Structure 1
């Protein structure tokens, strides 16, 4: 029954190696916990109870891997051109001049977001607004260059 524990250890190593533990959902965590319980039960001499848990976890993760490997179809969003009022509001928020380049926009964004980031005591709404302003200005500048 030690081979079942090795199989579980291999599964855990595979999950870490592929980076799936970083984006694990609650369901993935519950299945991994069930696999751990199954491995412990199988190692303690109760393979009739532990083996189904291990096999079920292996099948779940195998099916998850197949579902994630399929390419997803995404609807193409048509590019929208920002209007002048939105651009001027974004420039005022970031404090950049109308002739500023992408490097200046990114520098202003970094400077401003450092002071209002949620980790520094700011709000998520303000940080999202600042990020949106940066994205809008960069998209506007890219559109002007084309």
Structure 2
């Protein structure tokens, strides 16, 4: 009898989903569709979570990229399979730093338009955001509101 109750309690227990917040997404306009694009944003998860994948219909591939500067002063990008998110810590993606790289664009990124970006989290599930496209020389959304 006790075993049956424990199994039932386990089956009907509500899983603890992470509360994921994605803020300030943006991308720069592109000159050509043949050139890669990048998405910048901030992510906060509480409790901790992991960003497992990113995708968008405007690119054949979307990858999380980190940027490391070596002892020689040269910055190098590397693709991350996943991005761990510490509880309550904000991970900011910005030009010259971590970003989401978009390759094989299906069309140019045109200033003033938006495109959907799907982010898949281990516990938080899938989150779809609209990414505004700012000017080709933009430094971010703060600049766009001034």
TM-score, with structure 1 as normaliser: 0.23
Higher relative CO (Cα under 8 Å, sequence separation at least 6) belongs to 2
TM-score, with structure 2 as normaliser: 0.23
Mark the structure with the bigger radius of gyration: 1
Considering fraction of residues, name the structure with more strand: 2
